[in-house]
Amino acid sequence: MSNLSKFTTLDPLKGMNKEDPGRVQNLVNGKWIESSDFREDIPDPLNGELFLKVPDTKDISAFIQSLNACPKSGLHNPLKNVERYLMLGEVCTKASEILRDKQVEEFFWRLIQRVMPKTKKQCLGEVIVTRVFLENFSGDNVRFLARSFSNPGDYLGQESSGYRWPFGPVSIIAPFNFPLEIPALQVLGALFMGNRPLVKVDSKVSVVFEQFLRLLIHCGLPPTDLDFINCRGDTMGELIEQGKNKLRLVQFTGSKEVAEKIAVSTKGKIKIEDAGFDWKIVGPDFDPKWIDYVAWQCDEDAYNASGQKCSAQSLLFIHKNWEEHLIPKLRSLALRRRLKDLSIGPVLTWNNSQFLNHINTLLKISGAECLFGGEELTKHSIPKIYGSMKPTALKIPVNQLLGKHFNNVTKEVFGPFQVVVIYGDNDLPVVKESLEQITQNLTAAVVSNDVFFQQEILSSTVNGTTYTGMKARTTGAPQNHWFGPSGDPRSAGIGTPEAIISTWSGHREIIKDIGPLDSKWVIPEIS
């Protein structure tokens, strides 16, 4: 029996079409639930046909009941059910081994590509990052996340110990753009620390995490460890509202507008990743031997996954020393992208009308111009509810950046779009003030080998994951380094033990005071 047949319930190659649509189920109280009511607004992003049946859950009573059953002390903690640390490490070991199976690896990258069309390299990258994450937390490594520390007391018999303590019932709302990597790392991190998550992944892509969850359960994860719901945003909002007195934390990845609504509903009990307008600044130290690499990395950062990355390069500052060399290279690299290899493809959040309206708004700015793109793809069958735009770059004059146009210029476009600003040495104060005013502080890049220029920019900015040097990028897998925004106390991180600990546990201090009792002790007088 193949590893695939042990946990999979669909075939992304022969199935997932109008004749044999894939079916997604909910998981609640340890049981997979078949729905009779499905979403009707999730077409195949490449041809518009029915290819998935995803539950349109409206009755949330079972999920509320399950949420209420989890204690604040979690499924485990350093003083309770400690064997679960080793159990989860074993689940990671088994799952990572199965993900090394080439059949399983191909199953997941092709499944990702069916629901979130992007290149094989991008899809496979998700699978590899997820596998390496599992490997990193195999064996004893989950238990090590719960390490405590002790301090001697003021006298013999007293000792103070600090513990990492779970929140208990939590919720995770994951986005569409990385349908395996993001929810996998978020959910496993929550489980490692002893929490019990209620998970919602964007319905357009939730089938990927559902299949991964089936893999984890096959590898020994108790199916009662979490609930998995497929529903519309308003239903999830109602679930959070009804469960707000029990929910200890919500981790949300998505738009700033929704994040703020959840923050109000939960009275601030939220960890968010809503930052996505990311900048790159190419410094003054032009070097012709670097031009091809810098141009290629700029193209990758802006247009991979059709720009549908929260770490995508949205604002590119180019020092005038690079302008005449870099702009033509960017244009030629953008023109290489084709629908047939999915180096450019459907955009699942913005349709073409929204793109064109935004482009036209920016082109009304004095001196603005379209460097390339700004047009719809040709010869495609992408449904109109999705976007189908060519890679686009608009040039905005540096003297028009601040002031009344700033909000439009820095509006996050989750697609193949970037703003380019050319600056000179005397414009650096304007550039730095622009970076100060940007509120979405996720990733950034300082493309320069000039350490003094690096220092000037880095010392004045707050982005969470920031790359520097001529090879600097804005995007990259959150593996072996922290990935998350900065500048917001509600920020959530993934990728490292430190990110998991800070996101998914709190500090609990336990002071032991056992004696001995001084033989001469008596009840003291009232002072």
Residue 478 lies in a domain: no
Structure-block tokens of residue 194: 């002893």
The answer on 168 and 100 residing in a single domain is: yes
The answer on 198 and 78 residing in a single domain is: yes
The answer on 286 and 258 residing in a single domain is: no
Residue 296 lies in a domain: yes
The answer on 360 and 459 residing in a single domain is: yes
Structure letter (DSSP) for residue 37 = -
Residue 117 lies in a domain: yes
CATH number, residue 123: 3.40.605.10
At 275 the pLDDT is: 65
Residue 273's pLDDT band (boundaries 50, 70, 90)? Answer: confident
At 53 the pLDDT is: 96
The answer on 256 and 326 residing in a single domain is: no
Residue 526 lies in a domain: no
Residue 491's pLDDT band (boundaries 50, 70, 90)? Answer: confident
The answer on 131 and 62 residing in a single domain is: yes
Under a CB-based contact definition with an 8 Å cutoff, are residues 164 and 507 in contact?
yes
What's the per-residue H, E or C state across 279-326? Answer: EEEECCCCCHHHHHHHHHHHHHHHHHHHHCCCCCEEEEEEECCCHHHH
The answer on 299 and 387 residing in a single domain is: yes
> Which whole number is the average pLDDT over 413-442?
94
Output the pTM of the full model.
0.94
Residue 55 lies in a domain: yes
Counting Cβ atoms within 10 Å, is residue 456 exposed (0-12), middle (13-18) or buried (19+)?
A: middle
CATH number, residue 439: 3.40.309.10
Residue 512 lies in a domain: no
Structure letter (DSSP) for residue 370 = E
Look-up of token digits 């009573």: 61
The answer on 497 and 370 residing in a single domain is: no
Tell me the pLDDT tens digit for each residue of 223-252.
999 999 999 999 999 999 999 999 999 999
Under a CB-based contact definition with an 8 Å cutoff, are residues 483 and 142 in contact?
no
Distance from C-alpha of 314 to C-alpha of 318, rounded to nearest angstrom: 13
The answer on 289 and 330 residing in a single domain is: yes
Q: What is the domain range of residue 308?
A: 278-468
Q: Are strands 313-319 and 278-282 parallel, antiparallel or unpaired?
A: parallel
Q: What's the number of domains the chain is made of?
A: 2
> Which whole number is the average pLDDT over 383-399?
96
Residue 514 lies in a domain: no
Under a CB-based contact definition with an 8 Å cutoff, are residues 167 and 504 in contact?
yes
The answer on 408 and 434 residing in a single domain is: yes
Residue 443 lies in a domain: yes
The residues that bridge with 419 in the sheet, in sequence order, are 315, 394
Tell me the pLDDT tens digit for each residue of 129-174.
999 999 999 999 999 999 888 999 999 999 999 999 999 999 999 9
Structure letter (DSSP) for residue 375 = S
- Active-site residues, by number, are 273, 310
Distance from C-alpha of 117 to C-alpha of 132, rounded to nearest angstrom: 23
The answer on 222 and 89 residing in a single domain is: yes
The answer on 141 and 81 residing in a single domain is: yes
